[in-house]
Structure 1
Amino acid sequence: MKIGLGLYPHLLTEESYRFACQAGVTHVVAHLPGFARRDGRGLPAEKMWTADELAELKEEMNSHGLEFAAIENFDVEHWYDVLIDGPRRDEQMEGLQQLLRVMGELGIG
């Protein structure tokens, strides 16, 4: 059995990882909407997470013995035109596809 914990962006911290380990958690689900605006990241909300950013987050978790199990949800700025067949649909779809490729390369999910 795997014990997982969902963490919101402001909880993706060393302190939360230590708490998770103390509670017997082995896997983390990162709720990433708002992640780009998290302290220390300072990225525009519409920017999709890069392989380097996700690798850094994964390394933070792994350094505490935790697995980065999944990403829960995306910023609405990343997919709204996909839903409504808007003018940025193809661009947003490509961004989501790239994110899935990066997740696969990093072993997330």
Structure 2
Amino acid sequence: MKQKAAIKSARKNFKNSIKLSLVTQLKTIVEELGVGTKKTQKEIEKGAEKLAKKLSKEFKIDKANIAEKAEPEQFIVDVQEGKIVKPDAETVLAKPTKTKAKTVKP
């Protein structure tokens, strides 16, 4: 059962890595062109998420590598090579930040 959780975690990390890299690259291109509106930013994020989801489904995971690991959080996905790599002591994993809840005034 641990292997399934590890595979799921690796796939999720891969998806988040792809999404993050796509969003950052597209935002820099849009800012250089000078057309960075909120609507464009939302479209970029939605499109990046859809593409990342599609690519993560096609991603083949080396189960032998994952079986060696005890914790699924110990995996790092290399987006450019499409591999799961062992973390270095210097490598820091990016964690998504929580959004603040909006308060509604009556």
**TM-score of the pair, normalised by structure 2:** 0.28
The structure with higher relative contact order (CA 8 Å, sep 6+) is: 2
Task: Say which structure is richer in helix.
Answer: 2
Task: Say which structure is richer in strand.
Answer: 1
